[in-house]
Amino acid sequence: MTTVPETHPRYRSLIKRERIIEFWKKGIVADAGLIAHGRGEAFDYIIGEATMPFAEDAERAAVAYLLTAHRPVISVNGNVTALAAREVVELARLTGAAIEVNLFYRTQERAEKIAGVFRSLGMEILGVHPDAEIPGLDHARAMCSRDGIYSADVVLVPLEDGDRAQALVAMGKTVLTVDLNPLSRTARVAHVTVVDELTRAMANMVRMARERDFDPDGVIASYRNDETLARCLLHIKKRMEELGVSCLPRHRPPEPRA
pLDDT tens per residue, range 208-245: 999 999 999 999 999 999 999 999 999 999 999 998 88
Q: Is the pLDDT of residue 253 over 70?
A: no
pLDDT tens per residue, range 51-71: 999 999 999 999 999 999 999
Residue 7 lies in a domain: no
Per the structure, the count of domains in the chain is 1
pLDDT, greater one: 104 or 43: 43
Q: Is the pLDDT of residue 252 over 90?
A: no
Residue 253 lies in a domain: no
**How much is the average pLDDT of 87-112?**
95
pLDDT tens per residue, range 4-15: 666 655 657 777
Q: If residue 175 lies in a helix (H) or strand (E), which one and from where to where?
A: strand 174-178
Residue 28 lies in a domain: no
Q: Is the pLDDT of residue 197 over 70?
A: yes
Residue 241 lies in a domain: no
Which residues span the domain enclosing 147?
53-235
- Reference 110, options 21, 30, 164; nearest CA is 30
Q: Is the pLDDT of residue 207 over 80?
A: yes
- Reference 192, options 21, 51, 60; nearest CA is 60
Residue 38 lies in a domain: no
What CATH number is given to the structural domain containing 200? 3.40.50.12640
Residue 206 lies in a domain: yes
Q: How far is CA 20 from CA 7, 79, 106, 117, 202, in A?
A: 21, 7, 17, 14, 17
Asked whether 63 and 208 are in contact (CB, 8 A), the reply is yes
